[in-house]
Copies of this chain bind each other. A is one copy, B any other.
């Protein structure tokens, strides 16, 4: 008897109260006398009762879960340490709240939209973390349409009802450029992400602004798909120019690493002939040859803070935008003064 999992009714019966009161006691709601609450709680723990997530979900119309949809080519995701760090941060905030992460990885934007719809239609999540924002991002309107709570990683370029959790990555690019300018470079290139991605275009713009501020020309700002392959290809093109750059600012570490290899193959010594900087600096850059000067962005903390904000949004609180510590330059061996001509 009672080998089955106990239900709220069992607790109510043993404690000699009603189901409703047990629910109130458990959720710290008013209307329960102190002694009664005490008795209910002790009976519950004696019986080993835990509320059923499924029943609670049905009646409260909540999933107690948040979603993350990643829409990039798997190959690119695999090379980029960004997502594991982000997910680790999400988990840190989720676990103590008793919630879980539902992760979906899709290859293109069409599948991405379908994935969000599925998540909502099947009541899988109460909210989502929107990452890799794009220009005029359709997901903002989609989340609104679907009645989904959300937070964005970064500021969208369109009005958004959702709090934005941001890291000033522009500061990181500016720091990288300032670092190179201070070293004496005057011909600096930028290998950035797709301009459709907001952080792609924002990093590019801050690169151009930083160059302009230093009185330099910014004609060498190239767009890629963030893949190592593109990083390698573009680097080869840059170095084949009649007047190649003496420094390249990359928008992620995989491209910077691929770029270094290409340059070295082409006979450039790094940093003697070419300086290189990466972005989102993970551990990886510590173990390249030379080690990679990069810009660090505390990705894990970003994930934690975003999740924290999302849980508040879901709880109906008024949540303001959160601005995290700006990206910081981590100088290592891949950057030095330009070669003498």
**B283 near A54 (CB under 8 angstroms)?**
no
In the complex, which residues of chain B have a beta carbon less than 8 angstroms from the beta carbon of A78? Answer: 81, 84-85, 282-284
- Count of interface residues, chain A, beta-carbon cutoff 8 Å: 60
A262 vs chain B, min Cβ distance (A): 8
Please measure, in the bound complex, the distance between the C-alpha atom of A50 and the C-alpha atom of B120, giving whole angstroms: 12
Q: Which listed segment binds B: A101-109, A133-141, A182-190, A195-203?
A: A101-109
In the complex, which residues of chain B have a beta carbon less than 8 angstroms from the beta carbon of A264? Answer: 289
A17 contacts the other chain (CB 8 A): no
Please measure, in the bound complex, the distance between the C-alpha atom of A52 and the C-alpha atom of B61, giving whole angstroms: 10
**A101 near B100 (CB under 8 angstroms)?**
no
Please measure, in the bound complex, the distance between the C-alpha atom of A105 and the C-alpha atom of B74, giving whole angstroms: 19
In the complex, which residues of chain B have a beta carbon less than 8 angstroms from the beta carbon of A289? Answer: 260-262, 264-265
**B283 near A102 (CB under 8 angstroms)?**
no
Residue of B nearest to A85 (CB): B78
A229 contacts the other chain (CB 8 A): yes
What sequence of 0s and 1s flags, for each residue 225-263 of chain A, a beta carbon within 8 Å of any chain B beta carbon?
A: 001110110000000000000000000001001101110
In the complex this chain forms, how many copies of it are found? 2
A160 contacts the other chain (CB 8 A): no
In the complex, which residues of chain B have a beta carbon less than 8 angstroms from the beta carbon of A262? Answer: 287, 289
A101 vs chain B, min Cβ distance (A): 5
**A87 near B102 (CB under 8 angstroms)?**
no
Q: Which listed segment binds B: A7-15, A37-45, A121-129?
A: A121-129
**A105 near B91 (CB under 8 angstroms)?**
yes
Residue from B61, B81, B106, B258 in contact with A79 in the complex, judged by beta carbons closer than 8 Å:
B81
What sequence of 0s and 1s flags, for each residue 78-122 of chain A, a beta carbon within 8 Å of any chain B beta carbon?
A: 110101110110010001001011111110000000010011011
A235 vs chain B, min Cβ distance (A): 10
**A84 near B83 (CB under 8 angstroms)?**
yes
In the complex, which residues of chain B have a beta carbon less than 8 angstroms from the beta carbon of A231? Answer: 287
A297 contacts the other chain (CB 8 A): no
What sequence of 0s and 1s flags, for each residue 254-291 of chain A, a beta carbon within 8 Å of any chain B beta carbon?
A: 10011011101100000000000000001110111100
Q: A54-B123, A123-B54 are in contact. Are A287 and B300 (CB under 8 A)?
A: no
A111 vs chain B, min Cβ distance (A): 8
Please measure, in the bound complex, the distance between the C-alpha atom of A91 and the C-alpha atom of B231, giving whole angstroms: 28
A220 contacts the other chain (CB 8 A): no
Residues of A whose CB lies within 8 Å of any CB of B are 50, 52-55, 57-58, 61, 63-65, 74-75, 77-79, 81, 83-85, 87-88, 91, 95, 98, 100-106, 115, 118-119, 121-124, 227-229, 231-232, 254, 257-258, 260-262, 264-265, 282-284, 286-289, 300
